[in-house]
Amino acid sequence: MAHSIWPLFDLVVRTPRLELRPPTDHDCVALAQLAAEGVHDPQVMPFDVPWTDVPPPELERRALRWWWRKRAEWSPDEWAFTGAVFVGGEAGGVQDLTAHHFAILRTVGTGSWLGRRHQGRGIGREMRAAILHLAFEGLGARQATSAAFLVENLERCLPMFGVVPAQGQSSS
Ligand SMILES: CC(C)(COP(=O)(O)OP(=O)(O)OC[C@H]1O[C@@H](n2cnc3c(N)ncnc32)[C@H](O)[C@@H]1OP(=O)(O)O)[C@@H](O)C(=O)NCCC(=O)NCCS
């Protein structure tokens, strides 16, 4: 193990096209700049927290603070894995995996975004499958939820991931 003090630095999930791993500070800056270039149609807000609805450079600075805070506050009872997604070696977006009292609840949350130039090529599906593999096969999760709530064709999308909407919600 290269990082015995903070082993999370060694965590990597690989798929045929992608690599997911904790971002270095250099990667965080690249991701923040990518997010500032645009993640979605400005007419819609797909996120619960409208973090993309902030002008640069405040958007980038807030994003950096968020990732640093999540890294610093990691504990076995409350953790958030910010999986930087690398496409051909370039930081293309983020696939989050979060948990609260995981050892007891065995439930993970997921959330994701890609820079617009990386969207629509199946990368979103591939990175989500990768993070769910880590959750279920690697960590022994029993249930996964998602923050996604602004999804078109929901019924068509859900079976791809074996997802059932939570009561009173349209989660995927
Ligand atoms: C959501 C996101 C990560 C998906 O990544 P992507 O690489 O563009 O998606 P994929 O190319 O893997 O698409 C997989 C499938 O899901 C569908 N899909 C993807 N996003 C969708 C959406 N918002 N609504 C409906 N269908 C969607 C695609 O059409 C595709 O279906 P198909 O294979 O039958 O055509 C990306 O579009 C994104 O960053 N969007 C903006 C941020 C966002 O909405 N994040 C989710 C909120 S937590």
Whether the CB of 23 sits within 6 Å of ligand 1: no
Checking if the pLDDT of 164 tops 70, the result is no
Which pLDDT belongs to residue 172?
40
Task: Pick the residue whose CA is nearest to atom 21 on ligand 1.
Answer: 151
Which pLDDT belongs to residue 154?
52
> Is there a domain that residue 29 lies in?
yes
Checking if the pLDDT of 157 tops 80, the result is no
Domain total in the chain: 1
Whether the CB of 45 sits within 6 Å of ligand 1: no
* Tens-digit pLDDT profile for residues 122-139: 999 999 999 999 999 999
Measure the CA–CA gap between 102 and 167, rounded to whole angstroms: 21
Which one-letter amino acid corresponds to residue 122? G
Measure the CA–CA gap between 125 and 130, rounded to whole angstroms: 9
* Tens-digit pLDDT profile for residues 53-92: 999 999 999 999 999 999 999 999 999 999 999 999 999 9
> Is there a domain that residue 144 lies in?
yes
The mean of the pLDDT values for the chain is 90
> Is there a domain that residue 44 lies in?
yes
Determine the distance separating the centroid of ligand 1 and the alpha carbon of 114, expressed in angstroms. Answer: 9
Determine the distance separating the centroid of ligand 1 and the alpha carbon of 133, expressed in angstroms. Answer: 19
Which pLDDT belongs to residue 148?
67
- CATH code, domain with 54: 3.40.630.30
**Tokens 């990518």 correspond to what residue?**
34
* Tens-digit pLDDT profile for residues 25-52: 999 999 999 999 999 999 999 998 999 9
> Is there a domain that residue 172 lies in?
no
Which pLDDT belongs to residue 64?
98
> Is there a domain that residue 15 lies in?
yes
Determine the distance separating the centroid of ligand 1 and the alpha carbon of 106, expressed in angstroms. Answer: 26
Task: Pick the residue whose CA is nearest to atom 6 on ligand 1.
Answer: 124
The region of weakest confidence among 6-10, 76-80, 115-119, 155-159 is 155-159
Which pLDDT belongs to residue 26?
97
Domain that residue 84 falls in? 7-158
Of 11 and 154, which is predicted with more confidence?
11
Decide: residue 3, CB within 10 A, 0-12 exposed, 13-18 middle, 19+ buried: exposed
Measure the CA–CA gap between 134 and 136, rounded to whole angstroms: 6
Task: Pick the residue whose CA is nearest to atom 33 on ligand 1.
Answer: 122
Which pLDDT belongs to residue 170?
45
pTM over 0.95: no
Measure the CA–CA gap between 38 and 116, rounded to whole angstroms: 6
Determine the distance separating the centroid of ligand 1 and the alpha carbon of 4, expressed in angstroms. Answer: 36
